[in-house]
Amino acid sequence: MAERWDVIVVGGGPAGGMAAQTAARAGLRAILLEEHPEIGAPAHCSGKLSVHAFREFGLPASLIRTSLRAATLYAPDGRAVTVRRREIDSHVVDRHVFDRWLAEQAQVAGAEVVLGARARRVARVNGAMVVEAERRGGLVTFAAPVVIDAEGARTLLPAALGLVQRRVLIHGLQYEMEGLHLDAADTPELYFGREWAPGFFAWIMPTGEASGRVGLCIDPRYTSRPPRYFLERLIAAHPMTARRARGARIVHRLVGRIPILGRRVPTHAPGFLVAGDAAGHVKATSGGGIYFSLIAGHLAAEAAGAWIGGDASALSRYEQAWRRRFGRELAFTSAVRRMLNALPDADFSRMIRALIESAELRQAVEDHGDTQYQSRLLGPLAGGLLHSWRQVVLVPPVLWAFLRGLAVLDGESADAGPASRQAIRARSG
């Protein structure tokens, strides 16, 4: 006999933890099913989290490892440019600590957390949503009016309800390292080029004065080699990374997959909502999605409560709500990612050179750049290009790629719905 709940949350990451917490605080009987024996393990990302998340959700400063206000971009040809903002842009957290904190807050609010429960099936049975999970060698069954699916990048449940997802999963590998030779603890370094990380980029994400996360993602459509080949090669052969990592030791190895691009499908069905990585709530330019996952988890729990209370349109409004909050960013970063993937390394290097040589472009990035809301840079960056194009060596392919990206953005805005399409056109115009 299935145990009855108001809301079943599948997955203990940021979206699931926030959904369970929000539902429990609203007085709903919420249960969180986590497939691993421990919340937050294994960790899958660099842990970079926007200041917007800390402000909006009141996250404690005790979760912060280090704070970031700058970034150094290394072009494929080795040139580098550093852009520095006046204010802190992001914080770095330990994902296992962060995820556990969210789950603990959900428990304090009254949610039950079940570890080692891997959801295998979901179905509608007599008007209820029933989830079957493997646990301790057997099967356990849970029933509720609503299921919030926050499984992560590799989903199992949506297809059973007709939400067939088609998307690209990039493959990531990251080494937590100590003894790194860093110039600044507030400045991550990003390394571009198909030679180092085909289809994406590599990074050093500082977590302290001499510690950090050295990693990369690769798109399997562009190479048959595994991430380890490229990461080991980056550490051994890249002129800057090799110097940074000389004598450093690996403390942990982290692997994961991130959903980017692909055709977006609805994130709701009767009695069922999808949030976070499971819904593709990830910026395709950077692979970041913690903040959007928190927003989606919160909105999903609110919609679940309204649905249970008799609001028949609550689940479809969830879709509208998250698209209003960050649908534009998903469309924008998808367009930019497609543009960057089509850009030859030589032209990418010329773009970095433009930033090096143009004070106007650097100023636009430093004044208006926001790693969470990247589309806000579109207008100022275009203005910087128009102001400085006679002074900067921008070959036609680079300028064409940039303009092509703007055109693709308008087409991509179909993902964001009519309201977001209108907003994109207004901002672009």
pLDDT digits (tens, 9 = 90+) for 52-108: 999 999 999 999 999 999 999 999 999 999 999 888 999 999 999 999 999 999 999
Categorize the per-residue pLDDT at 408 as very low, low, confident or very high, splitting at 50, 70 and 90.
very low
Backbone angles phi, psi at 28, to 5 degrees: -90, 150
List the one residue out of 6, 10, 17, 243 whose CA is nearest residue 143.
6
pTM greater than 0.85 (yes/no): yes
pLDDT value at 30 more than 90: yes
CA distance 30 to 112: 6
Compare 376 and 30 and report the one with higher pLDDT. Answer: 30
Mean pLDDT of all residues in the chain?
87
- Per-residue confidence band for 283, with pLDDT thresholds at 50, 70 and 90: very high
| Percentage of residues of the chain with pLDDT beyond 70 | 86
For 316-364, give the DSSP string: HHHHHHHIIIIIHHHHHHHHHHHHHHHS-HHHHHHHHHHHHH-HHHHHH
Q: What is the mean pLDDT of residues 315-342?
A: 92
Give all domains of the chain, ordered by start, each with its CATH number.
3-47+94-164+265-312 (3.50.50.60), 64-92+168-260 (3.30.9.10), 334-428 (no CATH)
* Cα 314 from Cα 302, distance rounded (Å): 9
Segment (H or E) for 386:
helix 378-388
Buried-exposed string 143-163: b where 16+ CB fall within 10 A, e elsewhere? bbbbbbbbbbbebbbbeebeb
165-187 per-position pLDDT tens digit: 888 899 999 999 999 999 999 99
User: pLDDT band at 46, cuts 50/70/90?
Assistant: confident
**pLDDT greater than 60 at residue 308:** yes
Q: What is the mean pLDDT of residues 376-391?
A: 59
The residue among 366 and 17 whose pLDDT is bigger is 17
